[in-house]
A and B are shown apart, each in its own frame.
Chain A
């Protein structure tokens, strides 16, 4: 408690100051600009936001986005949970190659992954051809150009993002708790539902948040696999900017997403420390 407050801030801050300034200028600047745009274009006022109440197409797009993101989150986290579980509790030897598979899929471009689904599930794709070939179906199944296709592509892309936080939280679980539960007479499934699952809750919350937030901004996958029939916010924003040139509406939607995400984080922070969610570590 000695010295002036400025002295206490210290030389450490001076070192990072230039970078801090750069981050503020390049990151916060454009965001402020977007916020400004959303209330000034085409004319000053809250007209862009008011359109949310009146425009059916806007409401439909938001609803589609929320629905697709929610379903994506549900399935990605469910699959991610079982993958992480197998990695943590499976044979040690298998853990490394499982982890590398997860990481490799991280590094493959979303474009490549989306087009591979097109090859697999299109009308003349591998799956339809194979099913028709062995005579199970006579008409190709419509996997693509609808919400199902978008969901398949998005879940597939998001699973690794769900796996990592879950992995971190499962690794911190004291396995003696599981033994204790069984010694107290609980069956395997009782132990899972009453001890294991509650203990991985921070990981579940983190994985769900991460997947949901990332899904909100998805552009490529819905555009390609939805075939223009599943319009989500990101694609709509790009249309507003590039085609119809209604920048005000685009900025309003972007601001809405930004505040949505911040709101989500705020609500979660009421329930648990965010650092424990994203840090993975937990006492």
Chain B
């Protein structure tokens, strides 16, 4: 079923959107490989939906261009772009059954009945909703509705699937479950996924590449590992995962809490060392979080593996914080 993989390379060139004098997307350049799972990650109002809507064709672009497999689609209306789209809140047709919802894109393309039946069957299998085919959307749970929306958007084998916070309405546990299903489906259909979220864990666990956005601009692009290990700016370091910020050699550095070792005063071993006092210790099951105050700096957060660490260090204890060379990442000024 890797029927979407024949095309689906997208290229955004200096894409810009202005609402009056407000710039919601500012000179965005982005190459999306065919078959890629690309996530747009950013805080509320950073322009993720705006970007997605321009790709889908629902928003006119103010400047720049969008290319699909090398040719411009900026002037093509949304219904002729053939992109699948999963909306925030799913936008299932409430008066149609699950089956009719999924068949809709083929119906409006006037495909033969037999083909529609076969294809809808395949889609129901893909999202494991065979026994719900004749229910109405309101008779389904949130997770099931989400899968119907996905099946409907994939039914006509679009080269690109656009998803706007598709898991936003689900509770935490279900969300993790559906994340795995979504990733599995992505691998099976081979369609290019452009995925919008403001949930950093979701972005880290699902994406081939992540685009961090802020104020309508791309802050940094990279694989989850690249972005996590080598954030370029303070914003990227703070938004994706947690970071401590230190100034060393006249430059700002980001240091992840789990890269810091904590030991009683005098026992620190790393190449870089700071002396501090434990102000707070919080148990999270898998890890322990210490807030350590260091003279002349912001409070530093340290995460340690709770099981390996044994007894927590008591609040008020004087400690050494240490980390190996290369653990702190030098950030660009901005």
Contacts and interface: CB of A to CB of B under 8 A. Distances in A.
A194 interface: yes
A52 interface: no
Given A180-B91, A198-B95, A199-B94, A187 B108 contact: yes
A190 B108 contact: yes
Contact of B104 (A176, A184, A187): A184
Given A184-B104, A186-B104, A176 B82 contact: no
A194 B93 CA distance: 10
A57 to B, nearest CB: 45
Nearest to B109: A185
Interface string A197-221: 0110100000000000000000000
Contacts of B92: 180
A186 B79 contact: yes
A174 B137 CA distance: 15
B104 A179 contact: no
Interface string B103-132: 011011100000000000000000000000
Given A184-B156, A190-B108, A177 B79 contact: no
Contacts of A187: 79, 108
B137 to A, nearest CB: 11
B235 interface: no
A283 B78 CA distance: 28
A91 to B, nearest CB: 16
Contacts of B287: none
Q: How large is the interface on A (under 10, 10 to 19, 20 to 34, 35 or more residues)?
A: 10 to 19
B54 interface: no
Interface string B76-89: 01111011110111
B164 to A, nearest CB: 10
Interface string A172-183: 001011011111
Contact of B152 (A174, A176, A184, A190): A184
B98 interface: no
Contact of A185 (B88, B93, B95, B105): B105
B91 A174 contact: yes
A185 B156 contact: yes
Most buried by B among A177, A180, A185: A185
A195 interface: yes
Interface of A: 174, 176-177, 179-187, 190, 194-195, 198-199, 201
Those 5 A-B pairs whose CB atoms lie nearest each other, nearest first: A180-B91, A183-B85, A184-B105, A186-B108, A176-B91
Given A179-B58, A184-B104, 4 more contacts: A176-B89, A180-B87, A185-B108, A186-B108
